[in-house]
Structure 1
Amino acid sequence: MRPLLLLFILMPILEMWLLITVGREIGALPTIGLVLLTAVVGLALLRRQGLSTVMRAQQKMQAGELPAREMVEGIFLAVGGALLLTPGFITDALGFACLIPGLRQLLLGRILRHVTVVRPGFDPRDGSPHRPSGDRDVIEGDYSRENGQPGESHKKDSDRNG
């Protein structure tokens, strides 16, 4: 908790120092222009990368796959967008690192190396379907309610046919 608190205290101080230093060198209006330019370029990049990520996630879901990488990319894109909208050059650099595909893939690769997605009924090592060794009495099958109880999701065969 303390490192996060320290980050929230130090980051604005560093941003103000850098903005003042750059403003002294190139002037106040060009500095403001640079901050606005990074926000506009960042939002355009965010929109493009976001649409691409959503499309890939939809394709994976339609193929019956879990879009885990795309979900993590979406989080990166949201964080990157928020950082680019925050005035300052340090947050802009971090935001662009989240939005530039090559850098984002490098960061994602390092993070996802430590993450395992486990789906119930599937072996986490290779993703193949499996049954836990203790479940020897399990019989797989389908069922439907035909007694008219609330929450009924299937109709009787006589109701379907006519």
Structure 2
Amino acid sequence: MRRRGLALLPLLLPALAVAEIVVFIAVVHAIGILWAVALGLAATVTGLALLRREGMKGWRRFQAAAVEGRPPGREVSNSLVGLFGSLLLAVPGFVSSVAGLILLLPPGRQLARHQMERYAERRVGGAAASDLFGARHVKVHPGDPIVVIDEEPRPAQRIPAAAIEGEVVEGEVIR
């Protein structure tokens, strides 16, 4: 999968350049060349200003999570999405600016952050992802068996869900 994405890169970059040119020409025809250039410059300057702000905000959130002893993964992934959105906004072109704005607005940022966390969880596994992003919360229905595995190598224990009703069970979902 990774190699296929890299193999498509030489095709995607020229396609993006053509799309940027076509969209720029359409914007010039719609609002005029001076306004189109001014809009492009404003987006680039805004993106550069947001790059610094998002970087500093992400660093502060990472430090606060580390001091509080929380897993810093959510703050880091949120900051990375913000930085990538700011970078896309800073790159000249309307297509990249719109993509950057989508990543900077809360719904787009949240969706991209969740996708990034899911990708990281698939790549590193559930246990490592729990260390990065915090424990996953699982809803337990009465009557469902729960398998509890301790750090020490012992056989798994089965506890009926009714025995722990009202408590939150944190751990890795195997199936």
Question: Are 1:9 and 2:29 an aligned pair?
Answer: no
Cα pair 2:103 2:109 within 8 Å, conserved: yes
Q: Return structure 1 stretches of 4+ with deviation > 4 angstroms.
A: 124-127
Which protein is richer in strand relative to its size? 2
Cα pair 1:42 1:81 within 8 Å, conserved: yes
Quick one: which amino acid aligns to residue 21 of structure 1?
A
Partner in structure 1 of residue 153 of structure 2: 133
> Looking at CA atoms only, which structure, 1 or 2, has the larger radius of gyration?
1
How high is the TM-score relative to the length of structure 1? 0.66
Unpaired runs of 5+ residues, structure 2, are 1-5, 137-149, 155-175
Cα gap change, 1:101/1:55 in structure 2, threshold over 3 Å: closer, same or farther? farther
After TM superposition, give the deviation of residue 113 of structure 1 in Å: 3.2
- Pairwise CA RMSD: 2.9
Cα gap change, 1:107/1:71 in structure 2, threshold over 3 Å: closer, same or farther? same
Pairs aligned (count): 130
Mapped partners of 1:111, 1:46: distance in 2: 19
Alignment of 1:38-117 (within 5 A): 38-116=43-121
Which protein is richer in helix relative to its size? 2
Unpaired runs of 5+ residues, structure 1, are 135-162
Mapped partners of 1:15, 1:5: distance in 2: 16
How high is the TM-score relative to the length of structure 2? 0.61
Cα gap change, 1:113/1:38 in structure 2, threshold over 3 Å: closer, same or farther? same
Counting aligned pairs with the same residue, the percent is: 30
